[in-house]
């Protein structure tokens, strides 16, 4: 689209400052690892690459990755990426020509001024940059007027293009001092009556026509993004700038113009969010979300409504957490599982509901859009299960776990692609799930509805109002520190419930006691399940026999004594589970495989799994 490339084209032309051989010579002389470490960025080795805290945004968990072999970097938190030139531009907040000169000086490379300096930089040295910019703005004006006549724009549309073009042009000229920048603004305001509010981005006129959307690049996740928002049937960025929410229709990066993906299947706020009060009371909003869930969904336990509400809130601050509890709604047909997914889709942050999704869909959606994924019906194991999807789901609960895939359209090392899949996930299914995934879940055993009123259609006005208020909540706490961690349970349950606990401490600390009772019940239930597991059976058999060593075959026979033919365990399964408990595998004197008993380990396991008479055993 020509009109949207007007200002970027002119700037790019003036920014062409040198031949490729100069650029490559400077790049080769500046190792990116050394340059980054000189900027006091601490890096730790992670395989072939290096990992550290991003210097361009605040974070507690490292997401800034340096690739020494490729001599580039990428932050998976703010999406900044590039080579050594880009790093210096960002870290020192300078232009490319300035970064070029800085790295050239660092490497002791002399640059011929006539060949290297751009027209803009050279004229700036002569005190003429202001006039160069004014000349370029006149060219932009002329081109926009031509486009307006060609496309038959009305006055409002033309002013929208002008405001977007001039604001981005001025903001990107970092060499321009404040005085001259103000002069340019006053000139534009007088010539086109473009208000100061346009430059402050407090209001926004449509900078492009709907039919022109296809001309832009697509980038949905950008720095400082609060949410997406729909205005004039176009999806735009909702960002926070200087403490205010503003609507930003485009995002400029390296002279490329981007817009969000327009057809994401998620619920988003509308422009009314700008008129919403920002002084939201956490306890009241929590009660509103709980009431909404109770109105449209019947859960097995009263405590489940609070857990679901806190889970919805945590999706709005997902960037602040290192773990996210998976949700698992399980039950026979017509027990409200699908309805649970529909309720979450209405309120969760970037909620995307899919039925039996493909492996490729899950990988791309997780990596590109970080949606809150709600899966309706999925089979993860068995003959027709999908182990690749199971692998992805298992990795979604914890930040930093990357999932690899092979891209056959690429060659060599580039075939191996790594995806950051950390994001909230809920599963609504009649199928069982592997135990290693189940341990990362909050489990809801769904039952048939007894209240017919929960089956009513959603009130879209109420849903939208709540989404807007939840988005305001996100904006209010997006840059604030979370309450400190506190030990609330043990092992995996303590890990996955921390985000919900921290959210509760933000919204309504007075309900802490109620929440802790829920956690205690969950812990007891988990321990009871462990006591009925195969592992518990194995421990009991070992405890009852109390021999220093035992054959795997002897243990297998004991376990299978009371099992029917179809229920009998295999030797391999028993061996794997016994080894997983921590017992050392050995070869016995008769040449057969067995295990050696560690008395201290056995004692700890008896107490953990609450084997009967464990108190006597402890004594």
Q: What is the pLDDT of residue 17?
A: 40
**Band of the pLDDT at 615, cuts 50, 70, 90?**
very low
Instruction: Give the Å distances, CA to CA, from 403 to 42, 406, 561.
Output: 25, 10, 42
Residue 179 in this model has a pLDDT that exceeds 90: no
**Band of the pLDDT at 184, cuts 50, 70, 90?**
low
Tell me what the mean pLDDT of segment 198-202 comes to.
37
- Contact between residue 407 and residue 417 where contact means Cβ atoms under 8 Å apart: yes
- In angstroms, the CA 265 to CA 376 distance is 15
Angle formed at CA 403 by CA 51 and CA 416, multiple of 5 degrees: 85
- Contact between residue 542 and residue 548 where contact means Cβ atoms under 8 Å apart: no
Does 601 or 387 have the greater pLDDT score?
601
- Contact between residue 271 and residue 229 where contact means Cβ atoms under 8 Å apart: yes
Tell me what the mean pLDDT of segment 575-583 comes to.
85
Poorest-confidence range of 80-84, 557-561, 564-568?
Answer: 564-568
- Contact between residue 231 and residue 250 where contact means Cβ atoms under 8 Å apart: no
**Band of the pLDDT at 396, cuts 50, 70, 90?**
confident
Q: pLDDT tens digits for 322-354?
A: 999 999 998 877 778 889 999 999 999 999 988
Q: What is the pLDDT of residue 304?
A: 94
**Band of the pLDDT at 393, cuts 50, 70, 90?**
confident
Mean pLDDT score of the chain: 78
- Contact between residue 161 and residue 3 where contact means Cβ atoms under 8 Å apart: yes
- In angstroms, the CA 403 to CA 391 distance is 8
Beta-ladder partners of 235: 230
- Contact between residue 210 and residue 230 where contact means Cβ atoms under 8 Å apart: no
- In angstroms, the CA 497 to CA 515 distance is 10
Pairing outcome for strands 72-75 and 217-218: unpaired
Poorest-confidence range of 300-309, 502-511, 523-532, 550-559?
Answer: 523-532
Hey, where are the domains in the chain? 17-117, 210-271, 282-451+459-527, 532-618
DSSP 8-state class, residue 536: H
- In angstroms, the CA 148 to CA 157 distance is 9
Q: What is the pLDDT of residue 193?
A: 42
Q: What is the pLDDT of residue 591?
A: 84
DSSP string, 64-106: EEEETTTTEEEETTT--EE-HHHHHHHHHT--HHHHHHHHHHH
Q: pLDDT tens digits for 89-113?
A: 888 888 888 888 889 888 888 765 5
Same topology, domains 282-451+459-527 and 532-618? Answer is no
> Which residues are within 8 A (CB) of 371 and not within 5 positions of it... i.e. 6 or more apart?
264, 266, 350, 351, 352, 365, 423
For helices 491-507 and 512-531, what crossing angle results, to 10°? 160
Of 367, 267, 258, 274, nearest to 316 (Cα)? 267
**Band of the pLDDT at 361, cuts 50, 70, 90?**
confident
Where are the extended beta strands (E) located within 216-291? 217-218, 225-231, 234-241, 244-248, 251-253, 256-259
- Contact between residue 293 and residue 309 where contact means Cβ atoms under 8 Å apart: yes
User: Which range among 130-139, 420-429, 462-471 has the greatest average pLDDT?
Assistant: 462-471
Tell me what the mean pLDDT of segment 272-278 comes to.
88
DSSP string, 176-189: S-HHHHHHHHHHHH
Pull the structure tokens for residue 600: 């201290």
Q: What is the pLDDT of residue 11?
A: 37
Residue 618 in this model has a pLDDT that exceeds 60: no
Pull the structure tokens for residue 144: 């926009």
Residue 247 in this model has a pLDDT that exceeds 60: yes
User: Which range among 60-64, 248-252, 408-412 has the greatest average pLDDT?
Assistant: 60-64
Residue 116 in this model has a pLDDT that exceeds 80: no
Q: What is the pLDDT of residue 170?
A: 55
Pull the structure tokens for residue 491: 């092992």
Token look-up 């509805």 returns: 449
Q: What is the pLDDT of residue 15?
A: 38
- How far does Cα 536 stand from its chain's mean position? 38
Pick among 3.40.50.300, 3.40.630.10, 3.20.20.140, 3.10.580.10: CATH of 282-451+459-527: 3.40.50.300
Q: What is the pLDDT of residue 194?
A: 41
Q: What is the pLDDT of residue 152?
A: 66
- How far does Cα 338 stand from its chain's mean position? 24
- In angstroms, the CA 309 to CA 295 distance is 13
Please list, residue by residue across 415-425, b when 16 or more beta carbons sit within 10 angstroms of its beta carbon and e when fewer do: eeeebbbbbbb
For the CA atoms of 240, 374, 74, 234, the dihedral, rounded to the nearest 10 degrees, stands at: -50
Residue 177 in this model has a pLDDT that exceeds 70: no
Residue 123 in this model has a pLDDT that exceeds 50: no
Pairing outcome for strands 49-52 and 351-355: unpaired
Residue 146 in this model has a pLDDT that exceeds 80: no
- What is the percentage of the chain residues whose pLDDT exceeds 90? 24
Residue 214 in this model has a pLDDT that exceeds 80: no
Tell me what the mean pLDDT of segment 171-193 comes to.
52
**Band of the pLDDT at 560, cuts 50, 70, 90?**
confident
Residue 535 in this model has a pLDDT that exceeds 70: yes
CATH of span 532-618: 1.10.10
Q: What is the pLDDT of residue 546?
A: 74
Residue 588 in this model has a pLDDT that exceeds 50: yes
- Contact between residue 376 and residue 353 where contact means Cβ atoms under 8 Å apart: yes
- In angstroms, the CA 387 to CA 500 distance is 29
Residue 229 in this model has a pLDDT that exceeds 50: yes
Residue 508 in this model has a pLDDT that exceeds 70: yes
For the CA atoms of 453, 432, 357, 414, the dihedral, rounded to the nearest 10 degrees, stands at: 150
Q: What is the pLDDT of residue 133?
A: 58
- In angstroms, the CA 169 to CA 139 distance is 12
Tell me what the mean pLDDT of segment 241-262 comes to.
80
- Contact between residue 559 and residue 533 where contact means Cβ atoms under 8 Å apart: no
Q: What is the pLDDT of residue 154?
A: 61
Residue 604 in this model has a pLDDT that exceeds 60: yes
- In angstroms, the CA 85 to CA 30 distance is 9
3-state helix, strand, coil in the chain (%, to 5): 50, 15, 35
Pairing outcome for strands 217-218 and 256-259: parallel
Pull the structure tokens for residue 575: 């061996």
Does 601 or 334 have the greater pLDDT score?
601
Q: What is the pLDDT of residue 477?
A: 92
Q: What is the pTM of this model?
A: 0.59
Does 584 or 144 have the greater pLDDT score?
584
Q: pLDDT tens digits for 35-92?
A: 998 888 889 888 888 999 999 888 888 889 999 988 999 988 888 889 999 999 888 8
CATH homologous superfamily for 17-117? Zinc finger, CHC2-typedomain (3.90.580.10)
């Amino acid at each position: 689209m020509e009109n949207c490339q007007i200002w970027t084209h002119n700037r790019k032309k003036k920014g062409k400052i040198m031949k490729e051989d100069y650029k490559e010579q400077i790049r080769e002389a500046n190792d990116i690892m050394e340059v980054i470490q000189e900027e006091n960025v601490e890096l730790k080795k992670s395989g072939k690459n290096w990992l550290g805290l991003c210097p361009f945004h605040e974070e507690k968990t490292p997401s800034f990755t340096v690739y020494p072999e490729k001599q580039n970097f990428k932050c998976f938190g703010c999406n900044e990426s590039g080579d050594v030139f880009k790093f210096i531009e960002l870290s020192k907040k300078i232009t490319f020509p300035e970064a070029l000169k800085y790295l050239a000086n660092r490497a002791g490379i002399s640059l011929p001024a006539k060949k290297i300096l751009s027209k803009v930089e050279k004229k700036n040295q002569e005190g003429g940059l202001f006039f160069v910019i004014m000349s370029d703005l006149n060219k932009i004006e002329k081109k926009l007027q031509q486009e307006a006549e060609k496309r038959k724009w009305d006055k409002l549309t033309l002013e929208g293009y002008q405001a977007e073009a001039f604001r981005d042009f001025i903001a990107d000229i970092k060499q321009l001092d404040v005085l001259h920048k103000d002069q340019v603004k006053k000139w534009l305001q007088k010539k086109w009556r473009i208000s100061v509010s346009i430059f402050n981005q407090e209001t926004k006129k449509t900078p492009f026509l709907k039919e022109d959307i296809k001309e832009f690049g697509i980038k949905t996740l950008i720095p400082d993004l609060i949410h997406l928002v729909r205005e004039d049937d176009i999806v735009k960025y909702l960002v926070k700038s200087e403490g205010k929410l503003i609507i930003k229709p485009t995002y400029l990066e390296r002279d490329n113009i981007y817009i969000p993906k327009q057809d994401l299947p998620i619920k988003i706020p509308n422009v009314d969010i700008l008129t919403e009060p920002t002084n939201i009371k956490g306890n009241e909003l929590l009660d509103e979300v709980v009431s909404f869930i109770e109105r449209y969904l019947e859960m097995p336990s009263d405590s489940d409504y609070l857990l679901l509400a806190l889970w919805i809130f945590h999706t709005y601050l997902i960037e602040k957490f290192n773990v996210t509890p998976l949700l698992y709604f399980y039950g026979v047909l017509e027990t409200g599982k699908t309805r649970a997914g529909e309720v979450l889709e209405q309120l969760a942050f970037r909620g995307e509901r899919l039925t039996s999704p493909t492996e490729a869909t899950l990988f791309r959606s997780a990596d590109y859009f970080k949606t809150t994924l709600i899966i309706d019906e999925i089979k993860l194991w068995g003959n027709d299960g999908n182990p690749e999807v199971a692998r992805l789901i298992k990795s979604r609960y914890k930040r930093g776990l990357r999932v690899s895939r092979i891209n056959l359209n690429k060659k060599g090392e580039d075939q191996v692609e790594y995806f950051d899949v950390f994001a909230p996930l809920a599963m609504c299914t009649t199928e069982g799930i592997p135990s290693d995934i189940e341990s990362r879940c909050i489990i809801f055993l769904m039952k048939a509805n007894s209240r017919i009123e929960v089956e009513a259609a959603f009130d879209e006005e109420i849903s939208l109002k709540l989404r807007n208020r939840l988005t305001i909540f996100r904006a209010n706490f997006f840059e604030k520190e979370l309450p400190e961690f506190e030990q609330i349970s043990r092992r995996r349950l303590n890990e996955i419930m921390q985000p919900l606990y921290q959210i509760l401490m933000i919204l309504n600390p007075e309900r802490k006691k109620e929440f802790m009772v829920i956690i205690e019940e969950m812990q007891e239930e988990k321990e009871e399940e462990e006591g009925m597991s195969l592992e518990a059976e194995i421990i009991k058999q070992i405890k009852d026999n109390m021999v220093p060593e035992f054959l795997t075959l002897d243990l297998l026979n004991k376990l299978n004594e009371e099992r029917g033919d179809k229920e009998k365990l295999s030797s391999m399964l028993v061996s794997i589970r016994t080894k997983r408990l921590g017992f050392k595998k050995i070869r016995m004197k008769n040449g057969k495989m067995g295990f050696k008993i560690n008395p201290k380990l056995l004692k700890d396991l008896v107490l953990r799994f609450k084997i009967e008479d464990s108190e006597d055993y402890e004594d």
